[in-house]
Amino acid sequence: MGKLGCVEITVTGIVQGVGFRPFVYRLARELSLQGEVANTEDGVVIRAQGQEEVLEDFIKRLGSDAPPLAQIKGLKVVQRPCIQFEGFTIRESSKKGHASTGISPDIATCSQCQREIFDPKDRRFGYPFTNCTNCGPRFTIVESIPYDRSATSMKVFKMCKKCLDEYNDPANRRFHAQPNACPECGPSLSFRDVSGTSRSVVSPLKEVARYLGNHKIVAIKGLGGFHLACSAYSARAISTLRQRKSRPFKPLALMVRDIGTAKSIGVVDEATEKLLLSPQAPIVIVPRRKGAQIAEEVAPNISDIGIMLPYTPLHHLLFDQEGCPDALVMTSGNPKDEPLCTQNDEAVARLGAFVHGFLLHNRDIYTGVDDSVLRQSEVGPLFIRRSRGYVPAPVDLGCDVSGILATGGELKNTFCLTRNGSAYLSQHIGNLVSAQTFDFYRRNIDHLASLLELDIGCCACDLHPDYLGTQYAQTRGVRTIRVQHHFAHAASVMAEHRLKGPLLALCLDGTGLGTDGTIWGGEILICTSGDFKRVGRIRPFLLPGGDASARSPWRSLLSIISAVFGKDKCDSYLPEVDGAKRAFVAQMVEKRVNCPVTSSCGRLFDAVAALCGLCMENTYEAQAALELESLASKSLGSHVVTGTEEFEYFLGHKGILRKSGGLLELDWQPFFELSAPIARESQGETALLFHAFLVAGLSRLVHAISRDTNISDVVISGGCAQNRILLRGFMDYFLRNGLRCYKNQKVPANDGGLCLGQAFVAANLLSK
């Protein structure tokens, strides 16, 4: 017989709320070990005693056989003296100091729970709040940690005997499942009419299905907040929703019955199918299938659509109701520029003007969390919005610093907190442009800091003094580190890939305040982990009205046409714009009044979209750029833009690169000279030509700097880096020319990833 040993094992990471303790219990019993396991502030702590060779196997299998939702960050083993244990037990959670364990994201309904809700013989048949240790609510219902029922919004629901028996049965998959419930003891649904009055109906789900099948709009309370839902086939219902929500053109996300329905509506390849069916169940943006029967009003002027599958039992059961359409618009339940509604009475008050009825439930949502959005591309999946299903799973910073709050940007805001070398990014907060969203932002900072039990000792923020996140950082009374916007974009990629530099960064977006006081947005930087130098850019132009140009793409076009052809030519290129407005803005440009200088790639997209006659006014952020990309995609087909004749033209055009002010610049004038006269008649060709111009010019510019500096690592980030044509073209060029290229994979390349870059820079500066 082997030698007897005893070990104490501390497991850190996402190991609470994911069935880890029951897994440890069953594994220990299988191996005839004695001891105990408990949730603590340090993670999951295991004391195991048995033959040393068996303990070695046990430790190995803790990592190799862990539950699918567990994410183990650390596994520390300490030898202990042997003591007397009675079998192997799960102890009550303990809490003596600061927490260091991770918090699990919310997870889509597992296949076993799906089978139960559709089995007439099962006691959870038709129950919309069915869950187990492998699925269900987590982050949205957690008030504090350790993760126990008493620390969640399920604490008001006392488990019945059957549920309690499951909870205490080590052989049951609901063993210590904190949200465990059934129709006898758990949350329930209710229906209210448009006035908010409770309606007695045979089945709330049947009533909602009837509404949806009759061109009506329903506010549905889900996992992390409310959706506004209507039939994806009803042009009438969608038009009504758009009019009521003041959202005339922005694409609307769809939830569809099953993967077969998804394939009938969108082009779903194997990688996309895997994303859709993943436990995170995000919205995935895919090409719309030709001939799909959904209403054109779902995504006007865009060839892509966003699709997700049902991710709660409520959703699955709703689609199963007679008369329910198999594809529903499921857009965020909030008024414009306000946070997501999470509470019943709040939703009735704030959403009543949008809907015909409400599907409610009585399980409180502690943390509002919107749906995640990803986009499948030729170079892998890209985050557009990182939220439900992924938050608050941490990103490893590679720099062991705690207590940093990175406040993020103004648009698509997320923030993050650092603890023990990990960055915990928040869910999607939204645009910090309203008092309601700013209040939501501050409350969520306090909540996440409380969950992580962090004392904030440093704030990292943007340079822009008017950003609410920057102003908030200055109110905290701690050290503030201000990180330039595009450096933060670059640093977000550096953080993901553990890069220290020096490296080249190609940062392309709408706007960000530069260190010289101008508006940057098309930059090439040399970066290290704590500093950067600007070495290249898109040729600057005037931005008439500043932020007004972001709302009105024709303003950027007028500025460029004036520079290329003279102010007298503006009228012929902007026939849709009121003559008096046109003349007024032309005068602003001529006199350089309220016309900040910009190198913005995003505003260049706006100008070309206006040149083609696609979009004169942005009704949502990046509308012009998305419509231009969609048009270019149709012309491109399955080709890579670097293989086109247009690319070869620009590559050989000696005038597209020039030196100015010590920087290497991409000059847009050759493009406009070539394309402006034919843009209206050849929209698709012009859109593709513009993408080819950017790929050709910027790739060559980066390559030239690489040769001069002997730097061969390149990172790509910024909102424009989400453009699939550009990203694929850049990566193809860099790969063929011997440069190592990195992109965002764990966070969005847009401003939703800024906070990670800010935290990375601050952590590296503090650790020096």
Cβ contacts of 379 within 8 Å, gap of 6 or more = 727, 728, 731, 743
Q: How many domains does the chain have?
A: 3
The answer to whether the beta carbons of residues 206 and 65 sit under 8 Å apart is no
Domain assignment of residue 529, yes or no? no
Domain assignment of residue 280, yes or no? yes
Q: Are residues 78 and 210 in the same domain?
A: no
Q: Phi-psi region for residue 724, left (φ > 0), alpha (ψ -120 to 50) or beta?
A: alpha
Which pLDDT value is given to residue 642?
57
For residue 29, what is the enclosing H or E element? Answer: helix 20-30
The answer to whether the beta carbons of residues 226 and 346 sit under 8 Å apart is no
Would you give the DSSP letter of residue 651? H
Helix and strand numbers, DSSP H then E, in the chain: 24, 31
Burial environment of residue 503 by CB neighbours within 10 A (0 to 12, 13 to 18, 19 or more) = buried
Residue 730 vs residues 383, 624, 659, 703, 750: alpha-carbon distances, Å: 18, 21, 22, 11, 17
d(CA 118, CA 135) in angstroms, rounded, equals 17
Q: How many CA atoms lie within 13 A of 155 on its CB side?
A: 13
Q: Write the single-letter amino acid at 392.
A: P
Cβ atoms within 10 Å, residue 218: 25
Answer with the one of 361, 391, 413 that is the final residue of a domain: 361
Nearest alpha carbon to residue 528 among 495, 557, 569, 500: 500
d(CA 39, CA 17) in angstroms, rounded, equals 10
Pairing of strands 304-308, 254-256: parallel
Domain assignment of residue 113, yes or no? no
Q: Are residues 82 and 227 in the same domain?
A: no
Q: Are residues 542 and 678 in the same domain?
A: yes
Cβ atoms within 10 Å, residue 247: 16
Answer with the one of 90, 119, 148 that is the final residue of a domain: 90
Q: Kindly report whether the peptide bond that precedes residue 502 is cis, defined as omega within 30 degrees of 0.
A: yes
Domain assignment of residue 231, yes or no? yes
The answer to whether the beta carbons of residues 646 and 689 sit under 8 Å apart is yes
DSSP 472-497: HHHHS-SEEEEE-HHHHHHHHHHHHH
For residue 345, what is the enclosing H or E element? Answer: helix 344-351
Q: Are residues 76 and 217 in the same domain?
A: no
Answer with the one of 305, 333, 361 that is the final residue of a domain: 361
Q: Are residues 559 and 681 in the same domain?
A: yes
Cβ atoms within 10 Å, residue 84: 6
Which pLDDT value is given to residue 17?
67
- Token readout for 615 is 């979009």
- Token readout for 118 is 């559709």
Nearest alpha carbon to residue 132 among 145, 150, 114: 114
Please, where are the H alpha helices in 499-637?
Answer: 547-551, 553-565, 570-573, 579-591, 601-611, 623-636
Task: Indicate the pTM of the whole model.
Answer: 0.92
d(CA 648, CA 227) in angstroms, rounded, equals 47
d(CA 444, CA 331) in angstroms, rounded, equals 22
Domain assignment of residue 137, yes or no? no
Which pLDDT value is given to residue 646?
54
The domain that holds 721 is classified in CATH as 3.30.420.40
- Token readout for 318 is 């709703």
Domain assignment of residue 310, yes or no? yes
Residue-range definition of the domain harbouring residue 644: 537-743
Domain assignment of residue 211, yes or no? yes
The answer to whether the beta carbons of residues 22 and 32 sit under 8 Å apart is no
Q: Are residues 579 and 705 in the same domain?
A: yes
The domain that holds 38 is classified in CATH as 3.30.70.100
Q: Are residues 197 and 80 in the same domain?
A: no
Please state the separation of Cα 321 from the chain's center in Å: 31
The domain that holds 253 is classified in CATH as 3.90.870.10
Which pLDDT value is given to residue 643?
47
- Write out 368-435 in H/E/C secondary structure: CCCCCEEEEECCEEEEEECCCCCCCCCEECCCCCCCEEECCCCCCECCEEEECCEEEECCCCECCCCH
d(CA 21, CA 39) in angstroms, rounded, equals 8
DSSP 117-185: HT-TTSTTTT-TT--BTTBB-SGGGB-SSS--GGGBGGGGS---HHHHHHHT-TTSTTTT-TT---TTT
Burial environment of residue 441 by CB neighbours within 10 A (0 to 12, 13 to 18, 19 or more) = buried
Q: Are residues 613 and 731 in the same domain?
A: yes
Domain assignment of residue 48, yes or no? yes
Give me the phi and psi of 325, to 5 degrees please. Answer: -60, 150
Q: Mean pLDDT per 10-residue run, the chain (768 residues)?
A: 85 80 89 89 87 91 86 88 87 61 85 98 98 94 86 96 93 89 97 88 94 98 97 98 95 98 96 96 96 95 96 98 97 93 96 96 97 88 96 88 96 95 95 95 96 94 96 96 98 96 96 96 97 97 95 96 90 89 92 96 97 95 95 77 56 74 94 92 93 93 96 98 94 94 97 98 92
Nearest alpha carbon to residue 356 among 574, 193, 149: 193
Q: Kindly report whether the peptide bond that precedes residue 392 is cis, defined as omega within 30 degrees of 0.
A: yes
Residues in the chain: 768
Which pLDDT value is given to residue 94?
65
- Token readout for 764 is 């590296």
- Token readout for 234 is 């009803």
Q: Are residues 630 and 738 in the same domain?
A: yes
